[in-house]
Chain A
């Protein structure tokens, strides 16, 4: 039992040191200013045409940037700040929709279109069965009548 203790202990210490090293070398947590900038880039400026709060110089955009700074300074997380604005403006305030279905719908529409096109192309290329060329009973009777008339 005791001969396993040392290698297991060494392995555990090495593993912990590795985790600490990876965390230490990993991407540093964003500063508050960086977080504020990212949030401002995600939010739509309320009184501009298609600009983010980060890009706009309007008074509303400035007010939202000030509110983001105030909320982050008060200890709110980025998610809480995002939710704060969504509760007041709705999902409209987010430049990218948060609901996964909004991203999936166009993909599904394209896939359905491709499927329809494939079916149409396959059917178009498939050779059509030739129509049966059997004479009708009336045609046969007419030919017989004509032949009899010629013989007579």
Chain B
């Protein structure tokens, strides 16, 4: 037994170091999506511009679904990245905004002020679509491949590096 005493230190230090290293690399507020690997929730909703968009209209294209609100500070920070994404990948990627618990007037004012990418923004009355995606708060972005399967989720604002790495998961690059 005494010969095994030297094991006490590594047995205490190694698991503790592992817990600290992994614990500090994960945001405890971030909720992993239960939708990864599952089909995107279906919807038919009105858009901010007055038309109607259905999930069936997006079939066969990679889709990026972004939940945002005018009252959400990080959404302002993220908006430039979304406009850039539409400019760079708009020909291969369908970007869909979903207005999260906000008024249409406030959403229009946000787009007038920060720029309108030209992609549709859905009016999600009663937050039904947000609940179907398992949204915990904006901004949140879901990446859906051309087969309609959710492959990745961004919790919090997108930056260019996160955008590119997550778009690669749904076959959009360059």
Contacts and interface: CB of A to CB of B under 8 A. Distances in A.
Interface string A43-75: 000110000000000011001101100000000
Contacts of A66: 126
Given A59-B101, A60-B101, A88 B128 contact: no
Interface class of chain B by DSSP: loop
B32 interface: yes
A59 B34 contact: no
Interface residues of B, number: 18
A89 interface: yes
Interface string B108-130: 00000000000000000011101
B143 interface: no
Interface class of chain A by DSSP: helix
With a 10 A CB-CB cut-off, give which of A46, A87, A88 has the most chain B CB atoms. A88
Interface in B106-155: 126-128, 130-137
Contacts of B130: 60, 63
Interface of B: 31-35, 41, 101, 126-128, 130-137
Interface of A: 46-47, 59-60, 63-64, 66-67, 85-90, 92-93
